[in-house]
Structure 1
Amino acid sequence: MLIIRNAASGTAVVRADPADTFATRLPEAVVQELAEDEDLADAVLSAMASDAPPVVLGVYGGDGSVSRMAALARQYGRPLLVMPGGTFNHFARSAGIADVDTAIDALERGTTVAVSAIEARAGERGAILALNAVSLGAYPELIDERDRRRASLGKWLGGIVAAWRALRTAEPLTIVRNGRRAHVWSVFVGIGRNDPDRVATMQRETLVEPTLDVRIHHARGSRLRAVASLAFGKRTAAVLRALGLMPPRLDVERLVVGEFELTVRPGEGHPSVYVHDGELEEQPPAGFTLRCVAIPRAVEVFAPPPGSTKG
């Protein structure tokens, strides 16, 4: 087994180092810590080309690291061991993987789930696999602003500053879908059905359903509602809804489809970007066409049996 640790993941939260757990419960695993200048795909390629290629690929990191490793597990036909080590760990939570020990328990039992995923393709570039969501508009721009401030302020404070700036300067994004132009605050394309009351489809309710749950937040309200709509925590969203800060249902168009395509026209002041599982992808300044397809049984993931975990 190969386990990749992403040293850059989860720096905004405090958690115990899993090294002792790896040594005790997975003594035969090869654990490699990925430095900032190292590429995950290169590390896996090297391991797969060795005389004893791993039969399981494991990752300890956040959603971005998990989705990248999922793509590699799919490429090499290996099951994936997901161990939450990021800030939000959306996919791990959807899979019922609360911590490293829960993941290893599933590995020891051999219980797996054939997880559906999003295959996203922008322009002529290669396809990207996402396990949670692909997003356009306010959320990617907030991530872009946060990442530019991350070196000086850190991820958490950089995010606060980015959100404050968005409250003051956010502008609607122009998209074209089925020949019709629309001005939107954001577009979220989630895999599997999500909470119908939220705009940010970051927490899938099922691992196996090969369905895209799309939320298009049309730009009919204020910047405050545009930023508030990005809340993906259940409690935070409930509080914002109680305060009347979430967008009304009529402003949010919902589609449940197998594939989804649109063209993005960034316009002045908008970076040409989209986000998949928290990872920013820059695109040509003039705009791009994004196509998302739901892929059934994309990757086999070790996970607890349904109903075996709390919460």
Structure 2
Amino acid sequence: MLILRNSRSGTAVIRTDPAELFSERLPAARVHELGDGEDLADVVDAAFAGGDAPTALGIYGGDGSVSRMAGLARRHGVPLLVMPGGTFNHFARSAGLEDVETAVEAYLARDTVEVSAMEVREGEGEPVLALNAASVGAYPELIEERDTRRRRLGKWLGGIVAAWRTMRTAEPLDVIRDGRRARVWSVFVGVGTNDPKRVATMQRENLEDPVLDIRIHHARGTRLRAIASLAFGKRTAAVLRAVRLMPEKRDVERLLETGFAMTVRPGPGRPEVWVHDGELEEPLGEEFTLHFTVIPAALTVFAPRPR
């Protein structure tokens, strides 16, 4: 097995270095730490080009790294070991992988699950694999704002400042689907059915459900509610709902589909961005079209069996 460590993931969280665990429990694994400017795909493809190709891939990192490694595992037809090393670790939590030890135990027991995913294609470009969700609107703007402050303020404080600024400056955008235009605060396209009360479906609730759960937050409410809708923690969302800061039910349209497409028009002066599994993309041009397709049983992931 080839394990890649992304040292740039999860810098806002203090956790134990897993190097000793890898050495003791996975002595036959090749462990590679990504260096500055080193591309994850280049390392993996080089390993498969050699004479001793790995029979499994492992990733210690955040959701963006996990998503990219999932695409590579699917490409090379090998199972994936996911070890939480990021800040939120949405996919790892959905898979019951709360820590590295649990993930390693699943690997050693050869416990696996077939995971559905989705491919997202921007225009006529190459599709990318997403495990959790993709979004346009207020959430990508918040991520872009946070990333500009991350180096100076850190991820958590940068996120707070970004949320405050986005709450003051966010504007709706136009999306066109099936020939109809809608003015929206955000659109989330998640993998698998999710909590119907949520708008920001960043963490999936099951691994196998081959459906896209789409939430379209129409721009009828206030900017404050638009930002409050981005709360993806159950407790936070419950508190915001209790104080009536979450969007009204009639303002959020829900669709369950196996495929979905939309053209996005951010408007003058607005950032042309979208995000998938925490990874920010910046299209060229004043508008862009995104195509989403669910992929049943997209890859095999080592995970504890449900009890």
Q: Report the TM range for the smaller structure's normalisation.
A: over 0.9
2:96 pairs with 1:90: no
Letter in 1 for 2:9: S
1:102 aligns with 2:102: yes
Mapped partners of 2:135, 2:35: distance in 1: 27
Structure 1 residue 252: deviation in Å? 0.2
| TM superposition shift of 1:16 | 0.8
**Cα displacement string for residues 253-306 of structure 1 (whole angstroms, at most 9, x for unaligned residues):** 000110111000111122111100000011013111101010001110000001
Query: Shift of the alpha carbon at 1:82?
Result: 0.3
Structure 2 residue aligned with 1:251: 251
User: How many Å separate the matches in 2 of 1:15 and 1:44?
Assistant: 26
Q: What is the aligned partner in structure 2 of residue 66 from structure 1?
A: 66
Aligned match of 2:305: 305
Structure 1: gaps spanning 5 or more residues: none
Amino acid at match of 2:220: R
Q: Secondary structure at the match of 2:12?
A: coil
Can you list the C-alpha shifts for 1:67-95, whole angstroms capped at 9, x where unaligned?
Answer: 00000000000100000000001101111
Contact 1:7–1:36, Cα closer than 8 Å, also in 2: no
RMSD between aligned residues: 0.8
AA aligned opposite 1:112: T
Query: Which residue does 1:227 correspond to in 2?
Result: 227
3-state SS of paired residue (1:166): helix
Match of 1:185 in 2: 185
Contact 1:271 1:285 in 2 (8 A): no
| 1:103 partner amino acid | A
Q: Map 1:131-280; keep pairs closer than 5 Å.
A: 131-280=131-280
Deviation at residue 152 of structure 1 after TM alignment: 1.6
State whether residues 116 and 209 of structure 1, in contact with CA within 8 Å, keep that contact through their aligned partners in structure 2: yes
1:163 and 1:227 in contact (8 A); partners too? yes
Once the two structures are superposed, the pairs formed by residues 26-45 of structure 1 within 5 Å of their partners are 26-45=26-45
Structure 2 Cα separation of the partners of residues 125 and 158 of structure 1: 32
TM-score (norm 1): 0.97
SS in 2 for 1:52: coil
Query: Which amino acid in structure 1 is aligned with residue 145 of structure 2?
Result: E
| C-alpha displacement of 1:66 | 0.3
AA partner of residue 278 (structure 2): G
Once the two structures are TM-superposed, the CA of residue 219 in structure 1 deviates from its matched residue by 0.5
Count of residues in Structure 1 that have an aligned counterpart in Structure 2: 307
Deviations 1:38-92 (A, max 9, x none): 1000010111112211101000001000000000000000100000000001101
Match of 2:75 in 1: 75
- 1:270 counterpart letter in structure 2: R
Query: What is the TM-score when the length of structure 2 is the normalising length?
Result: 0.99
Distance in 1, matches of 2:58 and 2:15, equals 19
Q: Kindly provide the CA deviation profile for residues 191-216 of structure 1, in whole angstroms up to 9, marking residues without a partner as x.
A: 00111110011121211111000000
* Percentage identity across paired residues of the two chains: 67
